[in-house]
Structure 1
Amino acid sequence: MEEVSTMPDPMVPPTPPVSLEALLARADLGLRRIAGPDDPGTVVHGAHTSEMADPYPYLLGGELLLSAGVHIPEGAGAGYFDAYVSRIVAAGGAALGFGLAPVHKAVPAALVEACEMHGLPLLEVPPRTTFSGVARAVWQLMAQARTAELRRVTEAQQSLATAAARPDPLRPVLHQLAQRIGGWAVLFAPDTTELATAGTTPPPEARQSLTNLAEVVRPHDVSAGSRTAAPAAGSRAAGAARVGAAAPGKHRQAEPTPGEHRQAAPTPTTASDTVNGTHLAAYALGTGTGTGTGTNTGFVLGIASPHRTPGDHTIASVAAALLSLLTGRRQTGTATAHASALVRLLLGAPPEDVTPLLGGERWHVVHARPDGRTAPDPLAASALGTALGSALVDPAGEVVRVLVPADRPVEPLPGWTLGVSTAASPPDWADADTRAARALARARATRVPLLRHGDRPALADLVPPHDADAHARSLLAPIAAAPALTDTLRTWLSLHGSWDRTAVALSVHRNTVRQRIARCAALLEADLDDPDVRMELWFALRRT
C-alpha cells in the first residue's frame, strides 16, 4: 500500500532566490555539477544540512540540501537512492550537494543515476569546502540580491516621483513603470477603456485577460441604495470571476441572482493572473489607496510583464499610489483651485479671500511626525495628506504640516504621531499652527498616536486680554530673551514636571532639561515646586 504523506504542500520561503549557476561560479567553493539538468533558471532559497534518510519533513522547499552520506547504509542499492532522491524532489528541494570525505571518497554511482532520473541537480562538494562555507556563500549571494533589489526599487520610486511632477504626468508615470518592470503598463478609465499605455504590448489574450481583471477590481453600480456590487452575468467582469476559479491567487466576485439587487462583498483592490507565461496584475486606484479609508474612483492600473518579482509589486504599488493622487485631482479639479489660491496669495490677496477655493472656511492644522527616526520623504508626506483627505501638505523637515477642512475628522494613522489644532479661520492659522506643534510635542512625550489641542473656556478668559498680556510680559521678562528656556518651561509644566517626557518632547537629553529648569528657577527667583507658582507661570506662558 502506498504511503500517503500528511505534510502540507512545500512552500518556498520568502527570501530572494540565488541562482545555482552563481553558486557554481564561486571559485572558492569548487562545487561541480555531476548530474541533473543544466538549467540556468534553477534557483535556491537557502542551504540545509541533513543526514536523515528521509529529509522530507525538514524541508520547506527551494533548498540546497547538503549531505555527507552518513545516512547511507552499507550495501545500499538503487532502490534506496531512488527513494531518497524522490523524497527530496517531493519536498521541493532545489538541488543536492554531496560532500566528499570523510565518509565517502566518491559520490555513489547509484545516487548520480537517481538524480539524473528524477531531474535533481547533484553537486559534488570537495573535501576542502565545508557545508557551513556553502551556506554562508548562499546567504552572501542572497544579501547581494536583496541589496540590488532594494536599490532597484529605490531608483524606481525616485523616477516615478519625478515623472509625477511633470505638467502632464500620467503618461510619464506609466512609461517609467513599464520601463522598470520590463513590460506593459496601462491606465484603465472607469469604463475599462484604455486611457493611456506605455511599454511593450502583450499578446491579445493577455491584454483581454488584463481588461477582465480591471473589471473585477473596479466598482460596479447596481442601484441607488448600493454603491458597488458584483458584475452582471455575462459581463466581462463575470467572465473574469469565472476564470479566477481556475487561476490560483486571483480574487473572485460572486454573481447576483437575476433580478436581485443586493450589496456585494467589498470589491477587491488588486487581482492577478498568468496567461501563457505573461504575468498580469490590476490595482484599483482611489483617493485613499493603501490607507483603507479612501474610495475607489473607478480608475485601474494594469501591468503585464514576462516575469514577476517582489520588487515589481512594490514598484507597481508606488505607481498606483501616485496615479491615485493624479486621477483624484483629474476628477475633482482641486489641483486647479489650489493653484489659483496660491497665485492669489502670492499676488497679495488676504487668506480669507482665497479660502473658498480651498474648500472650506475653517480648518484644522495638523502636525505629523513618523514613528521611525527617519524624516518623511515627499511620497510619504503626500500619502499622509491623502489619508487625511487634503492636498495641502507641507513636508517641513522632520514634521509634516497639513491643512485639513474642519468638516473632515482627523483620526489616528498607523506609523504617525499627530498633533491637531482647534478649527481656525485664516486669520488665526498662525496661532493654530503653534497649537498643533505643541499638541504634537505632548503627543510624542506621552506616547499617544493623536492629541488635540483643547478648546474649552479657561479661567484665563476671565481676565481682560490687555491685563493678562502685561502680567505675562512682566512675570516672564527674566527669561524672555532665551526662547529655549521659555519652551522648556512650557513643556515641562504641561507634562507635570516629568524630566523624561520633556526630554522626549524637545528631543534633548534629560540632563539638559534639568539644567534649563534650574536656570529658569534662578532667573525667575521662584520655587517651581510650589503649585501656586506653577499655576501662575502656566497662566503667563499661555499668553505667549
Structure 2
Amino acid sequence: MITLLQLGTALASDLEPGPSGRYSTTPIAGVHVSELEDPTPYLSGGELLLTTGMIFARGQVDPAVYVRRLQEKSVKVLGIGLGPSLTAIPPALAAACAEAKLEVVVVPDQVPFQNVSRAYWNLAMRSSNADLMDSLGTQTAMARAAMRPDAVPAVVRGLAQSLGGWAAYVPRFGEGETVWPPSAEQFMPKVRRETHRIDKLEAPSTATFEILNQPVVLYPVLVNAQVYGVLSLGPGRRLTPADRQVITTVCVLLAMRSRQREQQAESTAVLGSAVAKLAVRGQLEAARMLAEDSGLPDVPSTLRLLALRAQGSIPVSFAAESARGLLGPEPYDLGPALKATPFVFEHESSLIALLDASLVAPLGERPFDDLEGTEFQVLGFSPENQNQIPETAAVLSAQIHGAQIPSIFQALRAAIARAPKGMLTHLGSSDESKASNWVKALHEYARADLVATVTSYLRHRGTWEEAARELGLHRNTLRYRMQLVNSLIGVDVDDPDVSAHLWLALRHAETHGF
C-alpha cells in the first residue's frame, strides 16, 4: 500500500503539504480527479481526490457539506490544484477538513494532475514488484522446506511466520495434525469441526469463519479432486495477492507430499504383503531376506497371526481401528500392533496380519479360551464406511515360531470362515505352542530342575534306569518328579503326541532361551 509520505517524497516540488506542513503515513488506495459537487458515486474509498476548486471559487457548494460527503466515503486525502480557480486553500475548506480530520495537500500552479497519478502508479508498480520478489523468495523457501524429512511441520511453520499469524494442517489420512505456533492449539477444536464440513462437500472450496472476532481461512488440499487435508490460517494481517500465491504454492506442496506418502505406503504395502505371504507358506528365511532388501522392518522371531473378515476390502487403517478394545475383564488393544506391522495381505475376503508377539504380550497372560466369545468392539467409523467394518472379530493364534506358521495359517483360514459375526473366535493353541507353555511352566518350577529331568527322560525314551543314572537320582525320585511333571502341565508325557512336541520345544528353548 502506497502512503501519502511516499507519494509526497517521490513528487518533491510537484506536491506540497497542506496547513499541517508535513505528510502523514496515511495509506492511499488510488488517485482520482473530479470537479463535481458530489464525486462520491465515482469513488470506492481510500483515494487521494484532486480538484482545481472551481466549485469553491464560484460558491457552488458549502465546503462543510462537500467534506462531509468525502468523509462518509472514506476519502483519505484532498488535493487542491492552484491556478486559475484558486490561489490558496479557502479558509472555510481548510477549517472543514481540519474538523473532519481530512488531510489536505497542494498541487502547485502549472503542475499537471497527471504527474501525481503517474508518480502514484510508478510507486505501486515498484511495490508490486517488491511483493512479487518477496513472494518468490517465500515460495522458494517453502519448496526447500518441502524437501526436508520433517516437510509438513517445516512448511506450516514457514507459512505461519510469513503471514505473521498461525497455521495448522489437518490431514485426512495417515499423518497427525501440525499446528504452529503451539499456542494455536486452543483454536483446533473449532478448526476440526469446520474441517469435517469441508470433507463432506462434493465440491470442496475455500471457507472462512471467525475465532475471537478474527478471520480464519480454510484451504482444502486436493489430489485428483479428493480432499487429502485442510490448511487452516489465522493470518496476522490482511492477505495480499502475493500472500495468496504463497498459500496456493503451500497447498500444492502439501498435496505433492501427501501423494508421495501415499505412493510410499502403497509400495510398502505391496512388499509387506509379499513378505507375509512367504512367511505363511513356511519360507521364513526368504521372507526375512525380502524384508531386509526392501528396507522393511525385520520379521519378528516370534509372531501372532491376526485375521479380520469383512464384506469388502479392509484398509489397514480401518482394521487397526476395529481391533481396538476387546471387551473383557481387562482391556486389550491390538490396534498398535496392527498399525506397526507392514506384513499384511488379503486372502479370501480376509485381512491376514503377522504381528510382533512382543506388542500384544498382554494376550499371553491369559488362556485364549478365556477370550473366546468376547464381543468385538468397533470404534471410529462413519456410516458411509459401514461396509468396511470387519464383520468378524480377530482370530489369533498363540505365540508361534517360524516353522509353525504354515499349519497355523491353515487353521486360521478354517477358523475365520466359521467365526461368528462380531465376536472373537479362539483359534486354539497348536501342539507346538502348547508345548512352549509346558516348557515355560517347567522352567518356572523352583523346587527342582524339572526341565533337565524331562529332557533326560525323553532323551532315553522313558527308560527309568538310564535317565536316573544320567541325572544322578534314585529311580523312585525320578518317578516322583515325572508324576509332578504330568500334574504340573496337565498331560501325560508318555503320550507319543505329547512327547514329540515337548522334545522339540525343549530343544528350541535350549537354543533360544526360555
Give the TM interval when normalised to the shorter protein: 0.3 to 0.5
Structure that is richer in helix per residue: 2
Q: Could you state the TM-score of these two structures normalised by the residue count of structure 2? A: 0.47
Structure 1 or 2, whichever has the larger Rg, is 2
